[in-house]
Chains A and B, each alone.
Chain A
Amino acid sequence: NAGVTQTPKFQVLKTGQSMTLQCAQDMNHEYMSWYRQDPGMGLRLIHYSVGAGITDQGEVPNGYNVSRSTTEDFPLRLLSAAPSQTSVYFCASSAPGQGVTGELFFGEGSRLTVL
């Protein structure tokens, strides 16, 4: 069982470039989410999805876009990268019916640097 897989693990962008962070899970989880982790600030929720075709904003959605066309995949798009988006990004999912009240399964993270 692969769990939650994130790609790429590392990425360097120039200001203004766009890119997509990929997240895939093979556990048939309905709930998927994206967090960013910054020193001293813990994890902050960017966007989340409770099922295919349904997405919603978290705490810090500006500059990011998501879609959920399948249960397995939840890509995060940076529309025009800014240095403030330099961070470590985590994708997480949870079992059907659990939402955030159950155990979240995290990917290993994607470290993004914007120059």
Chain B
Amino acid sequence: SQELEQSPQSLIVQEGKNLTINCTSSKTLYGLYWYKQKYGEGLIFLMMLQKGGEEKSHEKITAKLDEKKQQSSLHITASQPSHAGIYLCGAARMEYGNKLVFGAGTILRVKS
């Protein structure tokens, strides 16, 4: 099973609607990273959360980290077609050396 479980696996939203993607870790989180991938392209760094309760925003995307629940949520407000893609969460596993593990990803489609 994945160390990082993302939900939902995919979603389709109408343009202008809000949405939330969750990432839950089976191990203690020391930091959580969010990346976005467009089809046929590499991953683009969105933001990094390091402390419990931390919340960061990038344009209309907000991410929060709940250390107690070992979970992070990514919220998109007023979705646009440009938000479409695959969102992946990642966590550093320092006990395994310099390793960043990723969730399986959430596919987002935005209907205009």
Residues of A within 8 A of B (CB): 4, 31, 33, 35, 40-45, 48, 50, 56, 58-59, 90, 92, 99-109
Cα A41 to Cα B105 in complex, Å, equals 8
Whether A103 and B88, one on each chain, are in contact in the complex, defined by CB atoms closer than 8 angstroms, is: no
**From B40, B90, B100, B101, residue with most partner A Cβ within 10 Å:** B100
**From B2, B44, B101, residue with most partner A Cβ within 10 Å:** B101
Q: Is B31 an interface residue (CB 8 A)?
A: yes
Using Cβ atoms and an 8 Å threshold, which residues of chain B touch A105? 45
Cα A4 to Cα B4 in complex, Å, equals 26
Cα A55 to Cα B13 in complex, Å, equals 43
Q: Check A100/B104 contact, CB under 8 A, given A42-B88, A106-B43, A109-B42.
A: no
A98 CB to closest chain B CB, in angstroms?
10
Q: Check A100/B99 contact, CB under 8 A, given A40-B104, A42-B105.
A: yes
Q: Is B108 an interface residue (CB 8 A)?
A: no
Whether B92 and A100, one on each chain, are in contact in the complex, defined by CB atoms closer than 8 angstroms, is: yes
Cα A102 to Cα B35 in complex, Å, equals 12
Cα A43 to Cα B35 in complex, Å, equals 12
Whether B42 and A107, one on each chain, are in contact in the complex, defined by CB atoms closer than 8 angstroms, is: yes
| Chain B window 5-30, contacts with chain A (Cβ cutoff 8 Å), 1 for yes, 0 for no | 00000000000000000000000000
Whether A43 and B99, one on each chain, are in contact in the complex, defined by CB atoms closer than 8 angstroms, is: no
Q: Check A104/B100 contact, CB under 8 A, given A42-B105, A90-B43, A109-B41.
A: yes
| Chain B window 37-63, contacts with chain A (Cβ cutoff 8 Å), 1 for yes, 0 for no | 000111111001000000000000000
